[in-house]
């Protein structure tokens, strides 16, 4: 019978008298992953769960080609192909962790690692002063998601049903944020045009010229605008995460939006984790490190490859690298569209573009600031116009909450037109 003198907690720190497990025991239990797939099963699934992993043979080949200084075409091709399975493995590890950690943490993980390849390639190029590759690869990722992937997804959904529906409010919120990101790139371009007195329409005319053809005051002004805008965009991205994952999460819930649209959501196949959280985290870290090396090999081969084979750097950065870096994401988006889950498709395409525009690009500007590389948010007029018309078309097509194959064809056509223009730029 407890009395006034009875302590609230027992001397061992537990209210029920059970001894509290030590840190070593808790760490050991975490590593053992009781109730989760074992390490053997996890690693087998991770490395042997897909035929695409056969292409991992190009990872060591890219290293051998780089350090043996093979022909530029071989070095570029091997590292280019090696990025494809690595991107898939990054997505696989993130997805496996999301099964156990829940929806909120899964959303944060997808936000953090969804564009890991772009971040790694961008930092590798930035540290090698390949500023054209940095900016074009970021712009290319945005355009490929908004136009190519979303267009292919609408086309795929159009082969299954005449018209597809999705949540209008969430799509409009995402497209509005994408519009804001586009506007923040227009302002540095306008400032540069005024201060430099030039109008370099194509990007091939030296991105360093964004600062080189300006007086010291103009250079400081452009850097100040870019870095200040980058900080504000990062804050906007944090607010967007809170909006999507917490305050207005119901807008992004496929089941809720299906009920609001009067549609029935098909029963999805029950999926379960094939990896433990710890094994997935370790694999995620390992693949990230490997990807950083392969990205470094890829960037190092671009200069010679572009010069020898007369291929525009702008085309490599805008078209080739984004398609490879987002290959797994592209397949997932089209597959979800075929299954009628258009909210997930919109989230992958537009959401990924938002991540790049409001998180990855500002992050690279901050990294450049810290490392002494003067990366700005100034894009040449041609790049700015390409992004502006792309965002305008996407906003126009998704504002009614419906899609069909014709809208998909429009998006893909615009992407091909822009790719052709960069090929000859």
What is the rounded CA–CA span in Å between residue 153 and residue 332?
A: 10
Provide mean pLDDT across the span 113-125: 81
What is the predicted pLDDT for the residue at 406? 92
| Comparison of pLDDT for 168 and 47, the residue scoring more | 47
4 pLDDT higher than 70: no
Which parts of 119-260 are beta strand (E)?
164-165
* Buried b / exposed e along 362-394 (16+ C-beta atoms within 10 A): bbbbbbbbeeebbbbbbbbbbbbbbbeebbebb
Contacts of 227 (CB under 8 A, 6+ apart): 365, 366, 369
What is the predicted pLDDT for the residue at 35? 63
CB contact at 8 A, 357 and 119: no
What is the predicted pLDDT for the residue at 64? 94
| pLDDT tens string 360-376 | 999 999 999 998 888 88
List 164's β-bridge partners, or say none. Answer: 403
CB contact at 8 A, 177 and 170: no
124 pLDDT higher than 80: yes
**pLDDT above 70 covers what percent of the chain?**
80
What is the rounded CA–CA span in Å between residue 80 and residue 59?
A: 10
Type and span of the H or E element at 256: helix 254-260
Specify the pTM: 0.76
The helix/strand count (H/E) of the chain reads as: 20, 2
What is the predicted pLDDT for the residue at 255? 58
| pLDDT tens string 290-328 | 988 888 898 888 888 888 888 888 888 888 888 877 776
CA-closest candidate to residue 348, choices 406, 193, 356: 356
Task: Name the residue ranges covered by the structural domains of the chain.
Answer: 37-423
CB contact at 8 A, 381 and 205: no
Please, where are the H alpha helices in 114-149? 116-127, 131-143
Provide mean pLDDT across the span 194-222: 63
What is the predicted pLDDT for the residue at 263? 46
| Comparison of pLDDT for 162 and 270, the residue scoring more | 162
What is the predicted pLDDT for the residue at 190? 82
Tell me whether residue 352 is exposed, middle or buried, using C-beta atoms within 10 angstroms of its C-beta: 0 to 12, 13 to 18, 19 or more. Answer: buried
CA-closest candidate to residue 178, choices 425, 410, 390: 390
What is the predicted pLDDT for the residue at 212? 62
The residue to which tokens 């097509």 are assigned: 397
CB contact at 8 A, 210 and 378: yes
Provide mean pLDDT across the span 198-202: 51
The CATH-assigned architecture of domain 37-423 is Up-down Bundle (1.20)
């Amino acid at each position: 019978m407890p009395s006034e003198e009875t302590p609230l907690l027992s001397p061992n720190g537990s209210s029920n008298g059970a001894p509290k497990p030590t840190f070593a025991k808790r760490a050991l239990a975490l590593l053992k992953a009781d109730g989760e797939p074992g390490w053997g099963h996890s690693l087998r699934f991770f490395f042997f769960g897909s035929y695409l992993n056969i292409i991992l043979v190009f990872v060591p080949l890219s290293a051998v080609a780089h350090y043996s200084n093979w022909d530029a075409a071989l070095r570029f091709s091997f590292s280019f192909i090696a990025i494809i399975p690595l991107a898939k493995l990054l997505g696989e590890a993130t997805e496996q962790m999301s099964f156990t950690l829940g929806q909120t943490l899964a959303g944060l993980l997808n936000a953090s690692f969804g564009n890991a390849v772009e971040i790694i390639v961008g930092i590798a190029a930035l540290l090698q002063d390949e500023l054209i590759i940095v900016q074009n690869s970021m712009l290319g990722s945005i355009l490929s998601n908004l136009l190519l992937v979303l267009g292919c997804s609408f086309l795929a959904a159009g082969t299954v049903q005449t018209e597809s529906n999705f949540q209008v409010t969430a799509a409009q919120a995402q497209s509005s944020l994408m519009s804001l990101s586009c506007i923040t790139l227009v302002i540095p371009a306008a400032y540069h045009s005024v201060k430099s007195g030039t109008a370099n329409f194509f990007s091939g005319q030296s991105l360093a010229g964004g600062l080189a053809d300006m007086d010291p005051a103009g250079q400081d002004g452009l850097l100040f605008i870019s870095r200040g805008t980058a900080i504000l965009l990062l804050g906007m991205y944090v607010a967007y995460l809170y909006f999507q994952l917490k305050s207005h999460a119901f807008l992004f819930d496929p089941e809720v939006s299906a009920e609001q649209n009067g549609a029935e959501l098909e029963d999805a196949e029950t999926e379960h984790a094939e990896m433990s959280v710890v094994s997935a985290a370790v694999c995620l870290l390992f693949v990230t490190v490997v990807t950083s090396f392969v990205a470094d090999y890829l960037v190092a081969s671009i200069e010679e490859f572009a010069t020898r084979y007369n291929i525009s750097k702008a085309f490599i950065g805008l078209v080739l690298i984004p398609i490879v870096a987002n290959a797994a994401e592209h397949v997932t988006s089209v597959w979800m569209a075929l299954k009628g889950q258009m909210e997930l498709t919109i989230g992958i395409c537009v959401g990924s573009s938002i991540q790049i525009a409001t998180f990855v690009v500002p992050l690279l500007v901050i990294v450049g600031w810290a490392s002494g590389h003067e990366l700005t948010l100034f894009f040449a007029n041609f790049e700015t116009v390409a992004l502006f018309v792309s965002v305008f078309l996407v906003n126009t097509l998704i504002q009614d909450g419906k899609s069909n194959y014709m809208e998909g064809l429009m998006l893909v056509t615009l992407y091909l037109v822009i790719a052709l223009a960069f090929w000859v730029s």
